[in-house]
Amino acid sequence: MTLFLSVSNQMDLINEGTILIGMDYLFFAKYAPLYYEGALLALNIAAISVILSIMVGLCCACIHYYKVPLLKPSVSIYIELSRNTPLLVQLFFLYFGLPKMGIRFESESCAIIALTFLGGSYMSEAFRSGLESIGKLQLESGLSIGLNKIQLMRYVVLPQAFAIALPAIGANIIFLIKETSMLSVVALEDPMFVAKDLIGMNSDTKEALLLLVVTYIVMILPLSLILTFIEKKVRHAGYGH
């Protein structure tokens, strides 16, 4: 944001006075609520997608971990497809491509499906690295005190794997929230949609853009700070020996 301001600042001095003085403050009062609602919509969809992604990711990671026959190769194919294609293309295919074959989704379901398709593979990788970091010895000592497989997973493996995966899970949540910025292509009125609309409608481009930036800072900065805190904590807590 600073970069943008400083670049445009000099130009504005010549063109229409400094950037802040040249702003239309009434614009903020009038359109801020639209951004607010857009942000709520985006966060809502992100929240649902994050929960579904975690479920999908956990399932995939467990299938991979237990090397379930037949399912494991399918999971690998899904993960590669999801990680090596852009969300935007996934959205276009779901929203514009599939209906032509008779499979139709509402905008919101479309967004949630696409975000979960994407997020599921990212979460799966996070859980997988968590699961794989639990050494064989931990498993054996769990077995040697007579735990069965489910108890071993529940009391020994998962708590440790989850703590190790936590920073990656947090990073994935932020990633998914950022990816909601594409939802306007499936006709959802997220902050991006609002900004695009306002830029197209009138000439208050810089106010529209400033509000857009502020909206995303408010949406993501707090989470990003929490994540930094968790990362430090996990590192200092020194799980493992």
In eight-state DSSP terms, residue 17 is S
72 or 178: whose CB is closer to other proteins?
A: 178
Q: How far is the CB of 100 from other proteins (least distance, A)?
A: 4
Q: Please check whether residue 195 is in contact with residue 208, taking contact to mean a CB–CB distance below 8 angstroms.
A: yes
* 127 vs 192: CA distance, rounded Å: 31
The yes or no reply on residue 137 touching other proteins (CB under 8 A) is yes
Minimum gap (Å) between residue 34 Cβ and other proteins: 16
Minimum CB–partner distance for residue 147 and other proteins (Å): 5
Amino acid symbol at 131: L
d(CA 185, CA 200): 15
Map the footprint of other proteins across residues 198-237, applying CB under 8 A: 199, 203, 205-206, 209, 212-213, 216-217, 220-221, 224
Minimum separation from the CB atom of position 194 to other proteins (A): 11
Give me the 145-164 binding string for other proteins, x by CB under 8 A, dash otherwise. xxxx--x---xx--xx--x-
CB of 48 to other proteins, least distance (A): 19
Contact residue for other proteins among 41, 182, 188, 211 (CB under 8 A) = 182
Please identify which residue in the block is written with the tokens 């529209």: 208
Q: DSSP alpha helices (H): ranges in the chain? A: 2-15, 25-65, 71-83, 87-92, 107-132, 136-144, 149-151, 158-179, 191-201, 205-237
Verify binding: residue 138, other proteins, rule CB under 8 A.
yes
Nearest to 22 by CA among 204, 232, 170: 204
Binders of other proteins among residues 55 to 114 (CB under 8 A) are 80-81, 83-90, 92-93, 96-101
What does the block give as tokens for 92?
């276009």
